[in-house]
Amino acid sequence: MPRNPTAAASESAVARAETRRRWSLALPALTVITLCSILPLGVMVAYSFMEAGQYGNVQWGFSLEGWRAVFLDRDFFDDSYIPATAHLTILARSILLALATTALTFVFGIPTAWFIATRPPATRAYWMFLITVPFWTNLLVRTIAIQEVIRADGTLNRLLLATGLIDEPLQMMFTNGAVLVGMTYVYLPLMVLPVYAAIEKFDFRLAEAAYDLHASRLYCLRRVVLPLMWPGIVAGSILVFIPALGAYVTPRLMGGGRAMMWGNLIDLQFGQGRNWPLGAALSITLTLVVVGAMVWYARRAAKGDATNG
């Protein structure tokens, strides 16, 4: 039976009104995203294809020199192009330290989240309060705090000297290890919180059923617990890896000039180097690496969901 034209027109008008209402509700968020994210990113893309000014800033002219300098250097003797080993080394260090930070926060975060999720409901809020306390302080303050623990005359060395385990203070500052310790401490809550949210929803009767079927603890953890925790693990890994890859404050204080990371290199080009196109190209390169990591994480999460399904 053909539809009533009047009813069809009314339904279409209602649908258009609903669409306008949704767009009006999303408009504030879209405006903020455009002004604070998309527009600055567009400026960086434009700067990366311009010429460097003599005293900073940019000159309005198309140039690929900024992008070339990300990966290639000019040989001092014959002016030929050679790989920019310094930049590539810093990029590799940044990725490896970000991955190591994600792995360490996973190792320490899973037991912590499990412990909190298995406490009585009346005390879980207290433990979560302790986890979120570091967020109440500035990142700089937290980094200085961990710096005071591992420096030559810090708390850790004093304890080791007092117990006789070492004869002289360990030099841990200004190394990749110090940066790793600092970033693990700073970003650990970002792993604990989403994993805790996943564990809290876990039905422990599934583990009991696995034990009843004579599954070992390791098999139960691998085949029952971890798959159900996978969304929280993926979310925590993203929350840790992305800021760790572009970290600036912690590597600056804990690594000094010996353990420079990509964020420090970007700051150097916009500051002392006065090479804004190179700094912009480095920033976009970091963004592309982050996008690639997020795509990989998303595919892993989808694969985990398909396996669980």
Average pLDDT of 104-115? 92
Average pLDDT of 158-166? 87
Give the closest residue to 146 by CA, choosing from 251, 238, 248.
Answer: 251
Structural domain spans, the chain:
1-48, 84-308
Alpha-carbon span 286 to 266, nearest angstrom: 10
What is the maximum span of the chain, computed from C-alpha positions, in angstroms?
Answer: 94
Q: What is the pLDDT of residues 246-263, one digit of tens each?
A: 899 899 888 877 778 999
273 to each of 54, 59, 269, how far by Cα in Å?
11, 16, 4
Torsional sign, CA 180, 182, 183, 189:
positive
Average pLDDT of 10-30? 85
Q: What is the pLDDT of residues 194-230, one digit of tens each?
A: 999 888 887 777 777 887 777 777 877 778 877 888 8
DSSP-assigned letters across all residues of the chain:
-PPPHHHHHHHHHHHHHHHHHHHHHHHHHHHHHIIIIIHHHHHHHHHHTEEEPBTBSEEEEE--HHHHHHHEEE-TTT--EEE-HHHHHHHHHHHHHHHHHHHHHHHHHHHHHHHHHTS-HHHHHHHHHHHHGGGGS-HHHHHHHHHHHHSTTSHHHHHHHHHTS-SS----TTSHHHHHHHHHHHHHHHHHHHHHHHHHT--HHHHHHHHHTT--HHHHIIIIIHHHHHHHHHHHHHHHHHHHHT--HHHHHHHTTTS--HHHHHHHHHTTS--HHHHHHHHHHHHHHHHHHHHHHHHHHHHHHHHH-
pLDDT at 169 over 80: yes
Residue 182 has a CB neighbour count (10 Å cut-off) of: 27
β partners of residue 54: 56
β partners of residue 52: 58
Model-level pTM?
A: 0.84
Fold type of domain 84-308: MetI-like fold (1.10.3720)
- Assess contact for 278 and 87: CB atoms under 8 A: no
Alpha-carbon span 187 to 143, nearest angstrom: 11
pLDDT-derived band at 308 (thresholds 50, 70, 90) equals: low
Dihedral of the CA atoms 189, 193, 198, 202 (nearest 10)? 90
Alpha-carbon span 42 to 214, nearest angstrom: 58
Average pLDDT of 19-33? 89
